[in-house]
Amino acid sequence: MRAKRTYGIAALIAVAVVVALVITLTSGGGSGADSSDVAGPAKDDPAPRTSQQARQGEPKKSKEEAKYGDWDGETKVIGDGSTSYTGPQPNQRKWKRLKPGEKPPQFVVFSWDGALEGDDHLFSHFRQVAKESNAQMTFFLTGMYLLPKSQKHRYLPPQHSPGSAAISFATDGHIRDTIQQLGGAWKDGHEIGSHFNGHFCGAKGGNDWSQAEWKSETDQQYAFVKNWKTNTGYTDLPALPFDYDVELVGGRAPCLEGQKNLIRAVKPMGWRYDASSPGDFQIWPSKIDGVWNFPLQLVPYPQSEKQVLSMDFNFLYNQSGDTTEGDPAKYPEWEKLTRDAYLNGFDRVYHGSRAPLFIGNHFEQWNGGIYMQAIEDVMRTVCTREGVHCVSFKQLADWLDAQDPKVLEKLRMLDPAQSPDWSTFVKK
């Protein structure tokens, strides 16, 4: 659990836009919703709902339903055998529209950027924690983590030389372990999303990329997952149990950069959400151009008036600056402050607006692993509470799509700590 890793910290530290996102709360932020964001399916959706379906809260046809229809029970091997279709994903929850007088569930989404199984085995560890906590999560996979360094020439990053990246390529052993964890995680009910590839930030990074360049980056991420057998030469590992063209419906951009052109690039691919916004108050989500916007959030930092972005890196930066090995004497205090900040954010909405809580992480051991321990404590504490559902972003999008848009619009008007009379909030 204490092994050091260097796959992504340098790229994170280099970006000022992320580390600056610790601010003092100046507004409740609950009244910024635009009703046009929830008007209905986008014009280019392949299967818009009928008016009767919309009234009944039935979701539009998914990419999986459109491609496979009623599954015949036979595994369908895809391409070179790297992926396969094994039927609908197990351990998924079925959502219904809120009934009159019903309080919304409290959703919590734990997500992981990179999703590499390293020597510290944190990927497999948190799969076990999730099982024990009745939780599903989102793993935002970095696609080049399935590409051996010997094949790095296959990666053509936008605005950078072929085979270059701002993070390290994974070792062969870590690639093998990650492939096995991805398959197991999907069977557990977790989502396999996208963290794209080279983790370029700042100059010539996501903010500078055009729509076409984001499309190229995304297409390559699909390719690395769908062709890992060809790229690695591994023949002794089974195919991933999912069709990635169907599975992938959302992602988070490195350093939270470039969302505008990113959404333009991925919307035609059938993506349903993006988690690349740099931060917002804890309010109910809305859509950007027909795509759900799931930003990281500002949670109350203990013993201060500050609000801290809900990601491990931001706690690190505000506690030990640009070093991942701060003063060990302060580790217990920093761990408690981190855990309590997340719980402050949870309590504010759990007893208030019930807006979903979004928490982002990396598999890391910064400052002695205190951020991993804090997240584990939070997961074990909140996911078993009454009325709480710890879900993936995809599952949250399913629930939101099943709701009455007018009810969602009313929810967006609530400040985080505002608890209305739920018995009359959702009316007949």
Q: Give the other-Cβ count within 10 Å of 374's Cβ.
A: 23
Instruction: Give phi and psi for 24, each to the nearest 5.
Output: -90, 135
pLDDT 10s digits, 173-207? 999 999 999 999 999 999 999 999 999 999 999 99
Domain spans, the chain: 9-425
Would you give the end-to-end CA distance of the chain in angstroms?
A: 52
Residue pair 142/117 in contact (Cβ under 8 Å)? The answer is no
Choice among 41-45, 87-91, 113-117 with the minimum mean pLDDT: 41-45
Structure pTM?
0.88
Whether 404 shows a pLDDT value over 90: the answer reads: yes
pLDDT averaged over every residue in the chain: 88
Task: Indicate the class that CATH gives domain 9-425.
Answer: alpha beta
Whether 304 shows a pLDDT value over 50: the answer reads: yes
pLDDT of residue 330: 98
Alpha-carbon distance 366 to 31, whole Å? Answer: 37
Vertex 65 angle, CA 64 and 68, to 5°: 75
Sorting pLDDT into bands at 50, 70 and 90, what band is 427?
A: confident
Alpha-carbon distance 273 to 82, whole Å? Answer: 25
pLDDT 10s digits, 231-240? 999 999 999 9
Alpha-carbon distance 374 to 304, whole Å? Answer: 19
Whether 39 shows a pLDDT value over 90: the answer reads: no
pLDDT of residue 428: 72
Residue pair 126/312 in contact (Cβ under 8 Å)? The answer is no
Alpha-carbon distance 219 to 224, whole Å? Answer: 9
Alpha-carbon distance 342 to 214, whole Å? Answer: 32
Of 200, 216, 196, give the one whose Cα is nearest residue 208: 200
Instruction: Give phi and psi for 322, each to the nearest 5.
Output: -95, 20
Alpha-carbon distance 250 to 393, whole Å? Answer: 8
